[in-house]
Amino acid sequence: MPLQRVMAETTAGEFAEWQAYLDEEDVRRTKQDYYLAQIAQTAAGGRLGDYLLDFDQRERRDPTDAEAKAWFAAWLGGRA
Protein backbone atom coordinates (compact mmCIF):
# COMPACT_ATOMS: atom_id res chain seq x y z
CA MET A 1 0.00 0.00 0.00
CA PRO A 2 1.44 3.41 -0.92
CA LEU A 3 2.50 5.67 1.94
CA GLN A 4 0.22 8.52 0.82
CA ARG A 5 -2.82 6.21 1.00
CA VAL A 6 -1.85 4.99 4.48
CA MET A 7 -1.44 8.57 5.68
CA ALA A 8 -4.82 9.53 4.20
CA GLU A 9 -6.63 6.59 5.79
CA THR A 10 -4.96 6.57 9.23
CA THR A 11 -6.25 8.78 12.01
CA ALA A 12 -3.97 10.39 14.58
CA GLY A 13 -5.50 8.10 17.23
CA GLU A 14 -4.72 4.97 15.21
CA PHE A 15 -1.18 6.21 14.63
CA ALA A 16 -0.72 6.80 18.37
CA GLU A 17 -1.99 3.27 19.12
CA TRP A 18 0.48 1.76 16.65
CA GLN A 19 3.28 3.84 18.13
CA ALA A 20 2.48 2.60 21.65
CA TYR A 21 2.27 -1.01 20.44
CA LEU A 22 5.62 -0.84 18.65
CA ASP A 23 7.26 0.81 21.66
CA GLU A 24 6.18 -2.17 23.78
CA GLU A 25 7.37 -4.65 21.15
CA ASP A 26 10.85 -3.11 21.19
CA VAL A 27 11.45 -4.08 24.83
CA ARG A 28 9.70 -7.47 24.89
CA ARG A 29 11.96 -10.53 24.83
CA THR A 30 11.22 -13.22 22.28
CA LYS A 31 12.06 -16.91 21.95
CA GLN A 32 14.83 -15.89 19.59
CA ASP A 33 16.44 -13.73 22.30
CA TYR A 34 16.60 -16.74 24.65
CA TYR A 35 17.79 -19.07 21.91
CA LEU A 36 20.67 -16.78 20.95
CA ALA A 37 21.57 -16.30 24.63
CA GLN A 38 21.73 -20.09 25.02
CA ILE A 39 24.11 -20.32 22.07
CA ALA A 40 26.35 -17.64 23.60
CA GLN A 41 26.22 -19.38 26.98
CA THR A 42 27.19 -22.71 25.42
CA ALA A 43 30.07 -21.16 23.49
CA ALA A 44 31.47 -18.93 26.24
CA GLY A 45 30.09 -20.30 29.51
CA GLY A 46 28.54 -18.30 32.31
CA ARG A 47 24.92 -17.69 33.18
CA LEU A 48 22.13 -17.36 30.62
CA GLY A 49 21.20 -13.94 32.03
CA ASP A 50 24.68 -12.67 31.19
CA TYR A 51 23.79 -12.84 27.49
CA LEU A 52 20.25 -11.43 27.48
CA LEU A 53 20.15 -7.83 26.36
CA ASP A 54 18.25 -5.37 28.53
CA PHE A 55 16.37 -2.70 26.66
CA ASP A 56 15.56 0.31 28.79
CA GLN A 57 12.13 1.62 28.06
CA ARG A 58 12.19 5.34 27.49
CA GLU A 59 10.22 7.50 29.84
CA ARG A 60 7.07 8.52 28.00
CA ARG A 61 6.06 12.14 27.89
CA ASP A 62 3.42 13.99 25.97
CA PRO A 63 4.75 16.18 23.18
CA THR A 64 4.57 19.94 23.57
CA ASP A 65 2.12 21.82 21.36
CA ALA A 66 4.98 23.00 19.16
CA GLU A 67 6.30 19.43 18.77
CA ALA A 68 2.83 18.11 17.94
CA LYS A 69 2.23 20.83 15.35
CA ALA A 70 5.63 20.22 13.75
CA TRP A 71 5.00 16.47 13.65
CA PHE A 72 1.57 16.84 12.08
CA ALA A 73 2.89 19.35 9.54
CA ALA A 74 5.62 16.90 8.54
CA TRP A 75 3.15 14.00 8.50
CA LEU A 76 0.79 15.93 6.22
CA GLY A 77 3.66 16.90 3.96
CA GLY A 78 3.38 20.62 4.70
CA ARG A 79 -0.34 20.72 3.84
CA ALA A 80 -1.36 21.89 7.32
Q: Binning pLDDT at 50, 70 and 90, where does residue 79 land?
A: low
Q: Is residue 18 part of a domain?
A: yes
Q: Which domain covers residue 25, as residue numbers?
A: 3-55
Q: Is residue 20 part of a domain?
A: yes
This prediction has a pTM of: 0.41
Per the domain annotation, does 11 fall within a domain? yes
pLDDT single digits (tens) 60-77: 677 788 887 787 778 777
pLDDT single digits (tens) 26-54: 777 888 888 888 999 899 988 888 888 77
Domain count, the chain: 1
Domain assignment present for 50: yes
pLDDT of 80 reads 46
Q: Please report whether residue 37 resides in a domain.
A: yes
| Cα separation values, 63 from 47, 67, 68, 72, Å | 41, 6, 6, 12
Q: pLDDT per residue over 5-33, tens digit each?
A: 888 888 888 888 888 888 887 777 888 88
Report if residue 78 sits inside a domain: no
How far are the Cα atoms of 18, 71, 75, 79 from residue 11, in angstroms, in the given order?
11, 14, 11, 16
